Structure 1
Amino acid sequence: MHPIIHPVYEPTTGSWQYIVVCSTTNEAAIIDPVLDFDPSTATISTASADTLLKVVSSKGYRVRYLLETHAHADHLTASFYLQQTLLQQEPPHHPEICIGNNIRQVQETVRLAYDIPTDELSQSDFDHLFADGAQFPLGQLTVSVLALPGHTPDHIGYCIGPNVFTGDSIFNPDVGSARCDFPGGDARVLYRSMKRLLALPGEWRLYTGHDYPPTTTSSTGAGGEPPRDPVAFVTVAEQRERNKHAKLESNEEEFVRWRSERDRSLREPRLLHQALQVNVRAGRLPRRTDNGLVLLGYSVRFPEILVAGG
């Protein structure tokens, strides 16, 4: 059985969000939803998430799952907002927020980096933590979990029929691969995750978590790719043939060397600090201060002499 798939592109962060539906029962899952954040004004809005809710409402879908592929470092997740909004509808939906079980490692790393109080960060922020090979129902469909670490240690993909929602474990062929320099990231592990995907049947579709298409002739990629619109998926066969980093004739050692050098030259993601602190909480914001403010900190490295006085 094939699911109904609604890809929804968020252009500010280049993110693909997906609504995946069992056509028999109208039971739905939302994958990697985006909560809008403007760092210049420190304001959050829900326009992208509300677009997803409009599709759900207009089609009469019932959302059972909010599925995260990993704790994103480039956008805030809207999972908690969507969960709370859907719970208040009539009749209420009861969606569960889910992620890979290695989120525990990421939570601890982020807790230490940003000095998050222990009682503010709990594994129970997520309703389900999935291991590699786990399966669960979506209406009459079966969802299978694939561990796809490398970009982050908690990264997983969701296989639904002949479709895999890959998050950032592989990008479209002219983009290639994601960075691996976050804590717990590993270029060699990512390469092997990409090859795991490319071993799937050739006609299967790989739905990516981001796309960064060249939009003008002046912004073409290193290979001189022509301008194009964002693309949600390509087939496994297309990735095997054309992925600039992992196609059939690629070499693991060359990839690891290139990816490591490339990552050292990259700036940190624009929303890194805000995204990590929210996303390890499944989309919840930090506790308000006595003045009613929500504070998101920065993790800063500086010479020890600067803090010698305490």
Structure 2
Amino acid sequence: MKSPIVESFWDEATGSWQYVFHDPATMQGAVVDPVWNFDPLACATRTDSAAELLDYIRATGIEVAWILDTHPHADHFSAAPWLKEKLGTPTAIGEHVVKVQKLWQEIYHLPDLPADGAQWDRLFADGEEFMVGEIPVRVIHSPGHTLASVTYVAGDAAFVHDTLMMPDSGTSRADFPGGSSAELYDSLQRILALPGETRLYVGHDYAPGRPAQCMATVAEQKARNIHLRDAPDAATYRARRDKRDATLPLPKLMLAALQVNIRGGRLPEPESDGRSYLKLPLNYFEPR
């Protein structure tokens, strides 16, 4: 099985992992889930995290074939358009992003927002395959955390976004609009059916008391994941996941991030004064 070189980049402010992987034989690669930094108090964006990826790509000599988002994120803005501008590389996401766009279009009351996925250059279907150099990449639709989530399986590495966490943290939440613990359970079963040596790269790490970590193999997740090591059936897992989700506050950047990320990582169109403005749907969500 082909084995890509994976470089991980930690965004401490949002607990997010970004990745660049490449084929050592051809030096062709891809970016996964790049972060566009956002200061919620100043409502100001900056490109420090994405620039770190860009510096690595240029220093290493990687030819980036794709900029990949696993889903519309609720905890950070996507830097995919900024990197596309710098690299001339197409962007992609799973085809079910249109469902997320339509859902949040209603929540934000954005009747003029195009909800057809045209903000990305490519929408991947479940089971679709493409090449990064000599490394085959397979797309697995992995709903549960969101309607649109996908996993990218690149040789012996898989980028599993917000499905699994590191084993000592369990799995990801499923209580956002469009989320489902039942669908997340099914998605986890598909991921854990990959070969045991497959490297699973997670989207976040929040575990206190140790340095941030980003990867565990399928075998390690099966053996040590606190939500899965006893091989729960669907009902047991759902009860476990739903009980935990009921205690969680909404992500602090969610209402800012989703209206940017359903636009593919772009701010709303500037108004007559040249500035972009974000909307907040008051009293749509209940207090937590």
Indicate the TM-score class for this superposition, using the shorter chain for normalisation: over 0.9
CA distance in 1: counterparts of 2:234 and 2:278, whole angstroms = 38
- Give 3-state SS (helix, strand or coil) of 1:125's partner: coil
Contact 2:161 2:201 (8 Å CA) reproduced: yes
Q: What one-letter code is carried by the residue in structure 1 that aligns with 2:251?
A: P
Instruction: Give the paired residue count.
Output: 284
Q: Which runs of 4+ in 1 moved over 6 A?
A: none
In the alignment, the residues of structure 2 paired with residue 175 and residue 127 of structure 1 have an alpha-carbon distance, to the nearest angstrom, of 34
Whether contact under 8 Å (2:107, 2:284) holds in the other structure is no
- Look up the SS of the partner of 2:240 in the other structure: helix
Secondary structure of the residue that 1:123 maps to in structure 2?
Answer: coil
Deviations 1:166-212 (A, max 9, x none): 00011111111111111111001111211221122111111101111
Q: How does 1:95-110 map to 2 (within 5 A)?
A: 95-110=89-104
CA distance in 2, matches of 1:199, 1:119: 38
Q: Distance in 1 between matches of 2:70 and 2:34?
A: 10
Asked whether the 8 Å contact 2:4–2:156 carries over to 1, the reply is no
Preserved CA contact (<8 Å) 2:139 2:153: yes
Q: How do residues 83-232 of structure 1 correspond to structure 2 at under 5 angstroms? A: 83-86=84-87, 94-119=88-113, 122-215=116-209, 228-232=210-214
Unmatched segments (≥5 aa) in structure 2? none
Aligned partners of 2:35 and 2:79 also within 8 Å = yes
Residue of structure 1 equivalent to 2:251: 269
Matched-pair contact (CA < 8 Å) for 1:274–1:296: yes
Show the counterpart of 1:243: 225
Output the amino acid matched with 2:66. Answer: Y
CA change 1:266–1:27 in 2 (3 A) is same
Q: CA RMSD in A?
A: 1.5
Offset of residue 274 of structure 1:
1.1
Distance in 2 of aligned mates of 1:60 and 1:288: 36
Is the contact between residue 5 and residue 18 of structure 1 (CA under 8 Å) also seen in structure 2?
yes
- Change in Cα spacing, 1:119 to 1:252, as seen in structure 2 (3 Å) is closer
Distance in 1, Cα, partners of 2:74 & 2:45: 16
- Structure-1-length-normalised TM-score: 0.88
Contact 2:95 2:117 in 1 (8 A): no
Rounded to whole Å, the distance in 1 between the matches of 2:58 and 2:214 is 23
Paired with 1:121 and 1:145, the residues of 2 have a C-alpha distance of 22
Deviation at 1:252, TM superposition (A): 2.2
